[in-house]
């Protein structure tokens, strides 16, 4: 590692990312590769808080890796690895658990929400999720973590644990800072523009998956919720649906919101929805094509995972050894 700041991010392979994940996160990561030392993880351990079909989880992990590369993440420029391949994540979680208080975890908004949604499976992993997330980040002494608004609370726990450990045992961890993109951080649902677009939405028309084909994309945009006045004007408070579509169109075309208003000043919602759908479909097609090609070359993906594991393990082990010494564990010779 050189003197660039370290950026870490992880995404669960619990479903195919949406265009919201793409424009709000993955697309930005491509630019970050030259500015930061980037470490990106496929967070498969985190998915286990909800029951998974094993074969599907393995397939989704490979698919997410292929998607990362298809979107422009370069294994030669950044570290790409699968979380479960680096055992230090689980080991550091145990150490951090010993300085984490139950009340902190039970108050977490996501724990409350997920407990309500999965009442039949409220497990300790669901509560301990933020500590594993803290381990993910602190192992690599990450300076910056790209987070959406819904993850800020988890990053605060990581910061608190870093500070608590440093105060108790002497400076060890970098205290990470959030990196929140100013544009494109929040793409809303097509069916309910007051809610963030989510790959776990029960309404399939609410999100555009990175796997959706052109016909599906255009059909979903045609069904997108707008309002009754038919004016294409950016006004989040009064015209949430059309404002969301304008944001998406802006992100996929590079046009400003003002330019979009001017371009469609004499057009109706039907014309605009079609144009948004076509822009998104055009932007996703080369990514989808490349991802499908990569999935046909499993040997290459396995090599990328192995190389990523080796690079990540080297950094993680160095950090974990330091932690073990600080807490008084005897290190093996």
Phi, psi of 18 (to 5 degrees): -95, 175
Exactly one of 27, 114, 275, 311 is catalytic; which is it? 114
199 part of the active site? yes
311 part of the active site? no
220 part of the active site? no
Q: Return all residues near 135 (Cβ < 8 A) that are at least 6 apart.
A: 88, 89, 90, 92, 93, 96
Which ranges constitute the DSSP H helices of the chain? 19-21, 27-35, 44-47, 54-71, 88-97, 102-106, 109-117, 124-138, 152-169, 214-222, 240-253, 257-263, 269-295, 298-327
Exactly one of 5, 77, 186, 199 is catalytic; which is it? 199
- CB distance 123 to 132 below 8 Å: no
| Cβ count within 10 A of residue 106 | 11
Q: What is the largest CA-CA distance in the chain?
A: 75
Q: Return all residues near 79 (Cβ < 8 A) that are at least 6 apart.
A: 38, 39, 40, 308, 311, 312
**Which letter does DSSP use for residue 202 in this model?**
S
Task: Cite the active site residues.
Answer: 114, 196, 199
């Amino acid at each position: 590692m050189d003197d660039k700041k370290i950026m870490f991010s992880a995404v669960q392979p619990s479903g195919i990312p949406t265009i919201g994940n793409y424009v709000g996160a993955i697309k930005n990561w491509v630019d970050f590769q030259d500015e930061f030392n980037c470490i990106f993880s496929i967070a498969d351990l985190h998915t286990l808080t909800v029951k998974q079909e094993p074969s599907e989880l393995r397939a989704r992990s490979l698919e997410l890796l292929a998607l990362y590369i298809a979107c422009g993440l370069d294994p030669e420029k950044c570290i790409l690895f699968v979380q479960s391949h680096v055992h230090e994540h689980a080991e550091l979680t145990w150490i951090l658990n010993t300085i984490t208080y139950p009340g902190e975890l039970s108050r977490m908004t996501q724990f409350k929400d997920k407990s309500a949604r999965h009442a039949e499976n409220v497990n300790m992993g669901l509560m301990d999720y933020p500590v594993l997330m803290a381990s993910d980040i602190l192992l690599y002494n990450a300076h910056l973590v790209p987070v959406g608004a819904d993850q800020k609370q988890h990053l605060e726990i990581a910061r608190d644990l870093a500070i608590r450990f440093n105060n108790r045992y002497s400076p060890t961890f970098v205290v990470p800072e959030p990196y929140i993109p100013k544009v494109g951080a929040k793409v809303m649902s097509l069916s309910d523009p007051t809610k963030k677009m989510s790959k776990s939405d029960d309404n399939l028309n609410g999100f555009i998956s990175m796997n959706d084909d052109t016909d599906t994309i255009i059909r979903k945009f045609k069904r997108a919720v707008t309002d009754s006045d038919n004016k294409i004007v950016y006004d989040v408070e009064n015209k949430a649906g059309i404002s969301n579509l304008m944001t998406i169109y802006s992100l996929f075309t590079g046009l400003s919101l003002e330019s979009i208003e001017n371009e469609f000043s004499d057009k109706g919602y039907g014309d605009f929805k079609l144009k948004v759908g076509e822009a998104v479909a055009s932007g996703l097609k080369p990514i989808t094509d490349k991802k499908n090609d990569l999935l046909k070359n499993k040997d290459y993906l396995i090599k990328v995972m192995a190389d990523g594991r080796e690079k990540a393990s080297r950094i993680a082990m160095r950090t974990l050894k330091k932690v073990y010494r600080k807490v008084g564990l005897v290190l093996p010779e």
